[in-house]
Amino acid sequence: MKLMKRIFSFIVAGTVAAVTFAVTPVTAQAANTGGYWKYTGMKIYCLQAPGNAETTKASFDRDGTKTTFKTGITDSGYTFHVTQKSDESSGVHDLTFTSPASSYYSAGEKVSVDFTAKVQYTPGASSYHEPETKVRAGFTEGKFTADSLRQSYSSVFKNSGGGKDIAAKANKTDRTGKASGTLSAKFPDPASMSDKSGIVNIYISCKTGSINLAAIYTYKWTKGTKPSDAEFAYIQITMEKGSSIRLDSILTDGSAAKAKYSSSKSSVASVSSSGKVTAKSKGTAVITITCGKITIKIHIKVT
């Protein structure tokens, strides 16, 4: 099995509401002639977000507790940063997890997500709570909804033989809590699924204080032979009109070749010579990056 020889790493900066993002290189895997699970996108949900469960940042006040959260993109996955403040206590939840390792999986193949969680709270004068962050991962079937997130905390993993939680809980002594570990499950055989849409979602649910967050990676069963080798996975980013991001392309083999950028539709998303992308109007566009003999396309959706 050949690993790919060269990869891009991307540093994404600026103001961006990204709900789908994939930059994971795909390595060769054994072929499955019946079919394979193919990655189709990623979304972030928050049950308590005002007006819309699908979001990347929000602030709200419920029952005397002010909550603010935002998500971020790291080199290997995602981060959640949550702050909460009430008359009784104030605190911060910081969560980091990796993305699934591949864009293609066979039925029965295991997927794992590494996770770290930190909680730090300051008690108020009247009382002290023991806040905690709980994490769970597994599969749901069919189209994912906010209701699926509620169910993911009340049922064990589907088609994976059980569930596992990781929790970080603040204590009264130092008022901090930490936890880390790996959550894993096996991709289901589509013949065993009650939902016949051929869609499964890897969910990573995070219950932080009074809110529920989740990152959802969607895979669709595709007939045929699983791709045996590919240099790059697609990158998909959703941006809000008026926002911008910067894409710095770096070749890991040390090549000094200079990247060039172009947009398939500048009226939707323009790109500068330095790689700054600006969302101008609703629609879709493809940003193409070329560096020497390597070309990679970034699919931009502007909302």
The two most distant CA atoms of the chain are separated, in Å, by 65
Give the pLDDT score at 237. Answer: 79
Q: Is the pLDDT of residue 155 over 70?
A: no
Q: Would you state the structure tokens that stand for residue 245, as one six-digit string?
A: 């991001």
The tokens 């979602």 sit on which residue? 201
Residue 251: CB atoms within 10 A of its CB come to 16
Q: From CA 281, how far away is CA 301, in angstroms rounded?
A: 10
Please compute Rg for the chain using Cα positions. 21
Helix (H) or strand (E) holding 147: helix 146-152
Q: Which of 66, 49, 203 is nearest to 140 (CA)?
A: 203
DSSP-H helix ranges across 164-266? none
Residues 6+ apart with CB under 8 A from 128: 88, 89, 172
CA separation for the pair 116, 130 (Å, rounded): 19
- Extract the tokens encoding 10: 């991307």
The most confident of the ranges 80-89, 205-214, 241-250, 262-271 is 262-271
What pLDDT, on a 0 to 100 scale, did the predictor assign at position 221? 94
Both structure tokens of 30? 């054994």
Predicted pLDDT at 130: 75
pTM equals 0.63
AA identity, residue 135 = V
